[in-house]
Structure formats: structure tokens, C-alpha cells
Amino acid sequence: MTLAHIRVEAVAYDDVVAAGLRAELMADLSCRYGDQDGDATAVRSAEFTPPLGVFLVGWLANRPVGCAGWRTVGENAELKRMWVRPEARGKGLARTLLAAVEESARQAGRARMILETGLAQPEAIALYESAGYQRIPDFGHYANEPAVRSYGRSL
């Protein structure tokens, strides 16, 4: 499928479709990292409500297949809960979601996007590095974990 078949929509963080995609993400992270929580970073739905942030769902052929959001952290936008279902990978959805998140943050006045990921997510690391993200000092809930990798990029 081509990029023309991808649709990205802003939704409430606790929207039922968004919640289902985030649950799949957490299950995947639990498998990769061997913990029950998937990601223990504290988030609140209000953090993804404009102007503090946004949460997006990506659709492919009228089926929800990915999500991503940003929230305000200091003067930065922090990318959170980026996920694409395995069957939808390789079709440009992750890049489309990332670009939409970045544009949303830019329009909200944020000049920089930061994120944290981990060594058990090599495809995420490859995406971020190919999109121009560079390593930054680790931050957030997992800052002291040896497998964490933090990245940032000017918007």
C-alpha cells in the first residue's frame, strides 16, 4: 500500500481505539523487556490534550494500525507511545506518524522533540536515527537503566 492509504487523526488519549493500540504496545514491550508493565513511565491523559500535547492514531485501509503522541516536558515535546502493529510495518506508517507528531509539536510552539527507547527496540532506534535524531543524555523514568537510549532533534 502506498502512503496515500495512510490516514492520521488526533484522538483523545483515552479513546477506545487509542487505548487498544497502547495495550498492544505495552504487551510488546513486556515481551521485549521481560517486565509486566511494559513501560512504567507515568503518563496522564491530560498531558496529550492540546496545547500540552497530542495523541494520534494512524489508519491503513480504514483499520487502526498505529499510534504516537507527544507531551510537554519542560520546553520540549516528548514522543510517547509510538507503535505500529507488526502486520502494518514496512508501509511508511511509522515515518508518517513521526512526521505528524513532529508537525503537531512544531505548530504548538515546541522547538525540540525528545524521546527514550531501548536496545530491545532496534527498529525504533533505526527509525529515529534515520530521521535525524541524535543521542542525548538519558532522562525520565529509565534514565539510569543501561539499555535505555535517549534521542533528540530540533524541529
Q: Where are the domains of the chain?
A: 3-110
List the grid coordinates of 119.
536496545
> Looking at residue 40, what is its pLDDT?
65
**Architecture of the domain spanning 3-110:** 3-Layer(aba) Sandwich (3.40)
List the grid coordinates of 106.
512544531
94, amino acid identity: A
Q: pLDDT tens, position by position, for the chain (155 residues)? A: 345 588 999 999 999 999 999 999 989 988 888 875 556 678 899 999 999 999 999 999 899 999 999 999 999 999 999 999 999 998 899 999 999 999 999 999 999 999 999 999 999 999 999 999 999 999 988 888 888 999 999 99
The C-alpha angle with vertex 20 and arms to 125 and 96, in degrees rounded to 5, equals: 40
> Looking at residue 1, what is its pLDDT?
33
> Looking at residue 3, what is its pLDDT?
54
**Largest CA-CA distance found in the chain, in angstroms, rounded:** 41
> Looking at residue 4, what is its pLDDT?
56
Q: What global pTM score does this model have? A: 0.91
Cα–Cα distance for residue pair 77/36, rounded to 1 Å: 27
Please report which helix (H) or strand (E) contains residue 110, including its range: none
Q: For residue 93, give the DSSP letter.
A: H
